[in-house]
Structure 1
């Protein structure tokens, strides 16, 4: 038993079931519609007729006590019994291609037995239409906490939905109830008397109000087989209008549209006779008298075969058929009706017209005039019409087969395209995963760099090396003017001069507490190449010139040293020419006198790369430009921590050639910028913390 079915049944009104064949007989006599559960075995009733059992047998239900659940609508137990009967799915359709209303009309016309389920790709709920002998009973379970909707409202909602629905053919079992034992006969008789009394009272009421079509005497005179072999009475299930002879004329008239009253499965209409939904009174009386339900030999039982589509009146002129022929015809009709009820008809009405056409031809032959010529003409016309319709259907079938082939080809192409897209999707997903990994690594790298940058940000007093040097000036000062100074070069000991000489610094910023890249400013300054160069010029260079005997050859440079008052680091020389145009030239170090005139300029190369010819030419050009305007310039020095390329030496040689290298002169490595002006060009190497003059060679 499906769990969902159990949950839905348990919401119905319930009452205890005492067990036993008599209790089942009482439910049957009371036209009970619902389910009886005993010992996990479920027995479904529709209008008092068992239509299916799940989880066991009817005897299992009779052997135990349990619960009887009365259905709010007879479509529910019929549907659940069909679902438990393991029907066969005969077709599947999409509502946009084949509307549910079209399928419903075809199934009703074919006398179909089974159900239609619309639940796939439908979000609002589950929709069903149960069929018995072509009669439809719609039911819907709408919403998350399903609301049960039946009748026309259920069908209208189903017809408005879009999704895939299945057509399931079902062969109901119609199990028989067990015989009532002798000790249970009294209880069964009492229940039957109550039912019969209720029936008589209902009939009397209908007779008084004028709503009944028959009287009690008519019911007594009715034959035992007047009851339809159908647990779903036509008028009770569909609310159809009865004809004069008590049969519904739904099948003979045009099928009502969606939402018509013919779909209202809520109960019998006002025009429905009371005895149309219960067994004949004679059966009830027989039960009451004997204390047990009539057997198959005593009274007719409802048949599992679907009822005939419409009542056929007997022709007044029809002659009686022999009993054997009549039995044969009835048997053939029953087999044809069963085949028609269990098969799934084609949804195109034309496809179901072949057999009816043949049947029409047969009926035409049987019902036609006895005149041979008229009968032959009618038969030939009917046969010709059938042949034409068959040919038309064949052409339509061929057209549909071609369309199916085209659709199958399109489906194959679509499936191939989907497979290709899926492969592309896998590649994209793999690439996405790789990119995610790359992004994660880059984000980690960015976070690390941001942290390093934050740590490297200068504090309130932290400076960059360039800022620190540009804002620093060094001053040549002495402990005592009475002690030897640079003016005493050649007369006093160099060591005494060095001991008295000091280098003081002045900054454009607050040097107290200042740092350069996190290093205290004082220690940073003394470790720079510029500071060490200035200290060497005022201490070491005079000693080397004197000791090597080049004081006369480098006289302009040597004589400029005592005049040095301050050293400008990362300095600029600004001079105004004869035309009044100011020129600017930048040097790493500018040594000036008290008046600020340039005495010595220098370029420093602190990298491991050698000095190139272009770099040397830049220094000589700038120094020559200064020398043309400043008489005070005595020397230009290029200092490198690496070495000088041949090109640099060649540029230096060319610059000093006019100053006396190629002609007799006392001035060494001298660059002559005018007839009376010039400067000494010296090349210095900074190795292992000490400076050595390489040009000129000392």
Structure 2
């Protein structure tokens, strides 16, 4: 489990609890909220329900001595159970573009199980909103003091922050407890369903009643009154089993979360209301159609009336033509002549305009054709130039091929001269890579999880090397390079760290105290001898020279980030405090720059003097009031730090002296 979660949980107040399965049932019956552990396996408990078991299973608690940590708020066990389990980031949003309140409304309206985390680019603290179904639990750690804030205050603080928040999908499964011991008679609060009549403590019934009442009152306040046709549905809901009788249902197990968070599901409209709304809409549509038809009818009638009123009667029209026949004929002849003249003039104007437009169109086409011709000529010249350049390149490459073929022929006929290197030059130009004969037969990840034996890992894992020089004819200290490499303390230390250290920590039951070191072993992908680490801070100017630190061995992950570093003292004299202090000072900027950095190793081929041991203790002392569960840990900040390990090499093997297993 994550070391940061362990640091927070171990600072909670503890309470007494019995050993073994009886202790688990004691927590379940008492509706306990918090965490319980046997120093190896951890479980989170919410209102007596075991919502997650990690680093083992629930059977590990049988006959074990237990320690219970009381959560300061019910949201924390649920949040940490989600973070420690399987999660998937569904999306990341910038609060200025997508406010937290908008995404909160969406997640609260659905059956979402997970949490929202607002911590990236936020300096004031870490903010979370935990969702289970239609309920939410806000929680926040504010300021450098990590002050705990919950409820509406925590949500308001998160909504006012500016940063990047992540929507994380998680899974929660209530864990069944082992069979209750014969001497325990109380009902199980977790996975075993129990009737409310089996409890002799009236306070349990009162708690359930109060929670149910709070939910009911809130629902009544927020739900509009239903029509009388909804009353049968209400009666059937009253006949349903109570919350206490349905504790085995996962949804009802978290009924109390809804009351505590203040979030209730909005009542869906009833079938009668929906039907009534549909009827109203239908009536409105019919009315609109009727009104439209009426308007059309009126308009038609009015149009006909106007036509009738404006038509002159035949008698009146006929009489007027008789009295003005001669004058009308003269006027008509004059109008026809004038109209013919205007028509001729208009036709001539239209013809001239059309000719001008056609001429302009042809000119535009000619200009476009000339431009296209010029472009094609330029493209032709460009392609001809490229052709000439390519022909010259072909000739140059053919000459180079001839030269290389001649060189190959010469090298094949001549004996390659031997090359002699000193040990420092050979190691500085060598890198190791973690590879496997067959990944299906087991990897470092399998060994760290405990599913692969060390001997099986040793048979499948291999360390391939890459050098900056030819190795076939290279000799170091009068030995072939490969023989020299495998005999060096650096190479043997690398094998010990990858093949044996994880199993030694697991056998000593020290996984919790060395979590960061233990979990980082599986991330090692490449090893540099005499390697350098870039420790440039994030806020450094681009023009500044990048600061680096150099170590005898640097272990890196697939992205090239440093995971471990090691400093060697191969003299026969005992190692004193000075090399330890130098290693710590060089490793501190690495930890500050790389959160993935997990441990620094001081390796001696002799042994450590007392002042060296004291220097290690001084460097890893966390302070007078430190309650950290990590051993031999140099803490740099709330989220950064590294383990300091002292290793002695004797008789071809390595022994971890600090921390002592």
State TM-score, norm by structure 2: 0.35
User: TM (normalized to structure 1)?
Assistant: 0.34
Larger radius of gyration: 1
